[in-house]
Amino acid sequence: MLLIKGFLLLAGAQSVFAKCRCAPTDECWPSTTQWNTLNSTVAGKLIHNQPLAKACYHGPGYSAAECQRVASNWTNEYWIPESPIGYSYPLVDTCPPINASSIAAYPLCELGTSPAYTIRATGADDVAAGIRFARENNVRLVIKNTGHDISQRSQGYGSLSIWTKHVKDGLHFHKQFNYSEGSCPSNWTGSAITIAGGYIWQDAYDFATKHGHVVVGGGDPTVGCIGGFLQGAGHGSLSHEFGLATDQVLEYKVVLASGETVTANACQNADLFTALRGGGGGTFGVVLSATVKTYPSRPTLYHELIVTGLNNNNNHDNTTSSAVLDATARIASKYPALVDEGFAGTAFLFTQESGPWVYSAPLIKFLGDNKDSSSSSNATAIAIAHAKEVMHREILADLLPGNGSEYLVTSEWSTHPSWAAWYASTHHTTAGNNQPLMASRFFGQAVLSGREVELAGLLGVLTTTKNNTTSTAKVGEGSSSSSTTVLFNLVSGGKVANDVRYTSVNPAWRDAYLLLQTVDMAPANADAEEVQALKADLTTRKLKAMKDLAPGTGTYLNEADPYDPDWRQDWFGEWYEQLVAIKKKYDPEGVFWCWRCVGNEGWEEVTGSALFGPLCQVD
Ligand SMILES: Cc1cc2nc3c(=O)[nH]c(=O)nc-3n(C[C@H](O)[C@H](O)[C@H](O)COP(=O)(O)OP(=O)(O)OC[C@H]3O[C@@H](n4cnc5c(N)ncnc54)[C@H](O)[C@@H]3O)c2cc1C
Ligand SMILES: *[C@@H]1O[C@H](CO)[C@@H](O)[C@H](O)[C@H]1NC(C)=O
Ligand SMILES: *[C@@H]1O[C@H](CO)[C@@H](O)[C@H](O)[C@H]1NC(C)=O
Ligand SMILES: *[C@@H]1O[C@H](CO)[C@@H](O)[C@H](O)[C@H]1NC(C)=O
Ligand SMILES: *[C@@H]1O[C@H](CO)[C@@H](O)[C@H](O)[C@H]1NC(C)=O
Ligand SMILES: *[C@@H]1O[C@H](CO)[C@@H](O)[C@H](O)[C@H]1NC(C)=O
Ligand SMILES: *[C@@H]1O[C@H](CO)[C@@H](O)[C@H](O)[C@H]1NC(C)=O
Ligand SMILES: *[C@@H]1O[C@H](CO)[C@@H](O)[C@H](O)[C@H]1NC(C)=O
Ligand SMILES: *[C@@H]1O[C@H](CO)[C@@H](O)[C@H](O)[C@H]1NC(C)=O
Ligand SMILES: *[C@@H]1O[C@H](CO)[C@@H](O)[C@H](O)[C@H]1NC(C)=O
Ligand SMILES: *[C@@H]1O[C@H](CO)[C@@H](O)[C@H](O)[C@H]1NC(C)=O
């Protein structure tokens, strides 16, 4: 064994790697003087990162009070993105805010996969300066917006990070949008907004609402607009009605690997435009603004269905005995009918501390156009009546016979004058700082309709957790064991099914009726080995069960199992090779690199037996 750059590698491994990006422990790492020069170039916006929870560890900087402050904010989804190295879902956490009394479990606090330096960019010049510095000094470069990514794509050991959250050139409303340059007509005669910087969806929703419009964004108001979300597809409660968020993009402003800022739309750099509409963030360039379609606001119908198990009969060794799981499977088999009726949103199957299984489905239907007030109020009433009739016929009629004996059913309707009024009235999923283990899969009509038996079997697999193939299932028994939430994203069908030009999203999106997602949480006190066992179980058993039931589909790259060995095929489908060609055209030197991103072939993070390590060229 040989110690290279502080990490254990196999003897002889070094010669395999022709070239590595300079890491902080390397002699080639830029000097303080060089970093200071960069700092001057970016007008003092360079940050030398320190682990967030450094104060929790003995040594210089130890402070119980500061540690307490960090620990109490650790799962705050507004606090995390404020830090240049705040990541909601670190796959590797090398400095958690632990109580120093139990420090033996974590002897070191290190930056780990967090960037070494961050440019708190406020415009194209800062971005270009960062790119130039990384290229000239052979330093790894990453792009970060909110840090919400679940596949570590906005992180990198020993990297310089370009942080786009503080680019704030405003939100701009266009009654009618024309391309900034170029001659071809956009064909879009509706309105649009330009999101010029690191805004989050809550900002965009508020802005569109002020103009009486809606915009297709995420379910969580804290997800960033123009980063990984928009570039990777983007779904929410309005995607069914209008198409994926990325389908709405009319134009991007992008800083390329060359440092040049360009416009990408259907007329200029159309290949780059296509790649940035579905190919994922972090690898084609640094997006500074996006112009997206907006639509007049309309009344919104809301239905909340909750099915709560009775008498705690969570016999997890025999999941077929769970009435709520069976009911959920029957409901899922009817999703095509609900989706075709326009119901959209995300339903959840979960348990609370030792409690029964609960299926909760907060769904909306975006109601009809209200232009002609006299006849349309009748049209709205007819649409509401029809939606209720479908919900009763497809779902409630089947559920109600078991109400009171097997489970408790609540079914509530409300109408809201606008989508924004509905959004403001409900609770949304939130990001914190935790390590969920996630896997997902698209399900088409044929694998849902009439397949309640198979779906119940799948839910049985997803809601049990095994240490390894022989151990007994153990789920939802409180914080000392792992827990599972199954998410049923009804965010496609409708306009998502329309194939649109200049898009590179996984074609499987167009046929999907359901994006099924499972999220496991390791027990709070789990050690690395246990977490590893859970990850392996997720990929080899749970994801496999999803694939077996829905073969040949794929999934959404932003909500996928990063350990899926078939990620290229499953996340990009037939688009992958074309995306690589576009990546090579716009970034021939591979300045931008991220794990699980298009065109990352030829480079690998060499970790040896450590949790992180330098980025090296491999043959
Ligand atoms: C709580 C929560 C809820 C979510 N809900 C939804 C949802 O409803 N619908 C949905 O579709 N997705 C949802 N997601 C997934 C979300 O789309 C991804 O996490 C996405 O990657 C977040 O993008 P970001 O830019 O905010 O995050 P970051 O982690 O900052 O970046 C993600 C990726 O984009 C790159 N990137 C960031 N900014 C730029 C830029 N300016 N230019 C180029 N590349 C950039 C990064 O390098 C990285 O590769 C949710 C995530 C969370 C945490
Ligand atoms: C960059 O300059 C600013 C302002 O002078 C300073 O506050 C900051 O600490 C510097 N950053 C680094 C990494 O030295
Ligand atoms: C962090 O938590 C403390 C409570 O411990 C709270 O007072 C503070 O406002 C929180 N936020 C920040 C940014 O520190
Ligand atoms: C840390 O542990 C010590 C000793 O067990 C205990 O007294 C203290 O309250 C703990 N602090 C926190 C923040 O939990
Ligand atoms: C866009 O172009 C059309 C047709 O050329 C023109 O009539 C319209 O005024 C332009 N709109 C804006 C906002 O420039
Ligand atoms: C507008 O529509 C025409 C006709 O369908 C098409 O040829 C052209 O490419 C479209 N333009 C854009 C920008 O999509
Ligand atoms: C599980 O429960 C179902 C329904 O109660 C029953 O038919 C089945 O035999 C049980 N299976 C096992 C292995 O106990
Ligand atoms: C609504 O329209 C239907 C037919 O479309 C009609 O039969 C009905 O009377 C109308 N109701 C009202 C209140 O206008
Ligand atoms: C289910 O039964 C409960 C208790 O009997 C009742 O309050 C509730 O209204 C029923 N649910 C529906 C949707 O009818
Ligand atoms: C795995 O099994 C061991 C031994 O049975 C147990 O202590 C541990 O909690 C289990 N881990 C998980 C994640 O279930
Ligand atoms: C896996 O199962 C075997 C028995 O088949 C057991 O000896 C071993 O401890 C288990 N591993 C874990 C990590 O629980």
Tell me the per-residue pLDDT of 571-590, one tens digit each, with 9 for 90 and over. 999 999 999 999 999 999 99
Give the Å distance between the CA of 87 and the centre of ligand 1.
Answer: 11
Of all ligands present, the nearest one to the C-alpha of 376 is 8
pLDDT class for 311, splitting at 50, 70, 90? low
For residue 286, what are the contacts with CB-CB under 8 A and spacing of at least 6? 127, 131, 143, 162, 164, 254, 255
Q: Read off the pLDDT of residues 61-71 as tens digits, 9 standing for 90 and up.
A: 889 899 999 99
For residue 38, what are the contacts with CB-CB under 8 A and spacing of at least 6? 30, 46, 119, 129, 130, 133
pLDDT of residue 321 exceeding 60, the answer is: no
Share of the chain above pLDDT 90, in %: 74
Report the distance separating Cα 521 and Cα 511, nearest Å: 30
pLDDT class for 15, splitting at 50, 70, 90? very low
What is the atom index within ligand 4 of the atom nearest the CA of 101? 2
Across all residues in the chain, what is the average pLDDT? 89
- Ligand 11 pocket test: which of 465, 466, 467 has the largest number of ligand atoms within 8 Å of its C-beta? 467
In this structure, the number of other CB atoms found within 10 A of the CB of residue 8 comes to 14
Q: Which residues line ligand 6 (CB under 6 A)?
A: 184, 186-187, 266, 501
- 159 within ligand 1 shell (Cβ under 6 A): no
- 56 within ligand 11 shell (Cβ under 6 A): no
pLDDT at residue 107, rounded to an integer:
64
Closest-CA residue to 7 (of 604, 528, 617, 612): 612
Report the distance separating Cα 348 and Cα 357, nearest Å: 10
What is the atom index within ligand 11 of the atom nearest the CA of 467? 14
- Ligand 5 pocket test: which of 172, 174, 175, 176 has the largest number of ligand atoms within 8 Å of its C-beta? 176
For residue 33, what are the contacts with CB-CB under 8 A and spacing of at least 6? none
What is the atom index within ligand 6 of the atom nearest the CA of 501? 14
For 315-322, what is the mean pLDDT? 49
- 430 within ligand 5 shell (Cβ under 6 A): no
pLDDT at residue 585, rounded to an integer:
98
Report the distance separating Cα 183 and Cα 492, nearest Å: 33
Give the Å distance between the CA of 71 and the centre of ligand 3.
Answer: 9
For residue 196, what are the contacts with CB-CB under 8 A and spacing of at least 6? 167, 168, 169, 170, 171, 172, 253, 288, 289
Closest-CA residue to 149 (of 78, 232, 34): 232
- Ligand 10 pocket test: which of 437, 530, 541 has the largest number of ligand atoms within 8 Å of its C-beta? 530
Who has greater pLDDT, 547 or 76?
Answer: 547
Neighbour-count burial for 327-355, b at 16+ CB within 10 Å, e otherwise: bbbbbbbbbbbbbebbbbbbbbbbbeeee
Q: Which residues line ligand 10 (CB under 6 A)?
A: 465, 467, 471, 474, 481-482, 523, 526, 530, 534
- 525 within ligand 5 shell (Cβ under 6 A): no
Count of residues in the chain: 619
Of all ligands present, the nearest one to the C-alpha of 83 is 3
Give the Å distance between the CA of 534 and the centre of ligand 11.
Answer: 13
Report the distance separating Cα 253 and Cα 273, nearest Å: 10
- Ligand 5 pocket test: which of 173, 175, 177, 178 has the largest number of ligand atoms within 8 Å of its C-beta? 178
- 31 within ligand 4 shell (Cβ under 6 A): no
Give the Å distance between the CA of 167 and the centre of ligand 1.
Answer: 16
Neighbouring C-alpha atoms within 13 Å toward the C-beta of 248: 33
Give the Å distance between the CA of 289 and the centre of ligand 6.
Answer: 23
Of all ligands present, the nearest one to the C-alpha of 251 is 6
- 318 within ligand 7 shell (Cβ under 6 A): yes
pLDDT at residue 373, rounded to an integer:
53
Whose CA is closest to atom 3 on ligand 10? 467
pLDDT at residue 178, rounded to an integer:
77
Domains of the chain with CATH codes: 32-166+589-617 (3.30.43.10), 168-296 (3.30.465.10), 300-425+436-555 (3.40.462.20)
Whose CA is closest to atom 7 on ligand 4? 101
pLDDT class for 598, splitting at 50, 70, 90? very high
Give the Å distance between the CA of 307 and the centre of ligand 9.
Answer: 10
Of all ligands present, the nearest one to the C-alpha of 187 is 6
pLDDT of residue 436 exceeding 90, the answer is: no
pLDDT at residue 479, rounded to an integer:
40
On the 0-12 / 13-18 / 19+ scale of CB atoms within 10 A, 275 is buried
What is the atom index within ligand 4 of the atom nearest the CA of 67? 13
pLDDT at residue 471, rounded to an integer:
32
pLDDT at residue 524, rounded to an integer:
72
Who has greater pLDDT, 387 or 436?
Answer: 387
pLDDT class for 329, splitting at 50, 70, 90? very high
For 354-373, what is the mean pLDDT? 82
pLDDT class for 523, splitting at 50, 70, 90? confident
What is the atom index within ligand 10 of the atom nearest the CA of 480? 9
Lowest mean per-residue pLDDT among 55-59, 151-155, 233-237, 297-301: 55-59
pTM of the model: 0.90
Report the distance separating Cα 230 and Cα 145, nearest Å: 12
What is the atom index within ligand 1 of the atom nearest the CA of 430? 1
User: Distance of CA 562 to CAs 91, 461, 558, 568, 595, Å?
Assistant: 10, 20, 9, 11, 9
Closest-CA residue to 559 (of 219, 155, 103): 219
Of all ligands present, the nearest one to the C-alpha of 48 is 2
pLDDT at residue 609, rounded to an integer:
85
Residue 444: helix, strand or coil by DSSP? Answer: strand
For 211-229, what is the mean pLDDT? 96
For 296-314, what is the mean pLDDT? 87
For 86-114, what is the mean pLDDT? 79
Whose CA is closest to atom 10 on ligand 7? 318
- 79 within ligand 3 shell (Cβ under 6 A): yes
The residue whose two tokens read 């198990």 is 309
pLDDT of residue 369 exceeding 90, the answer is: no
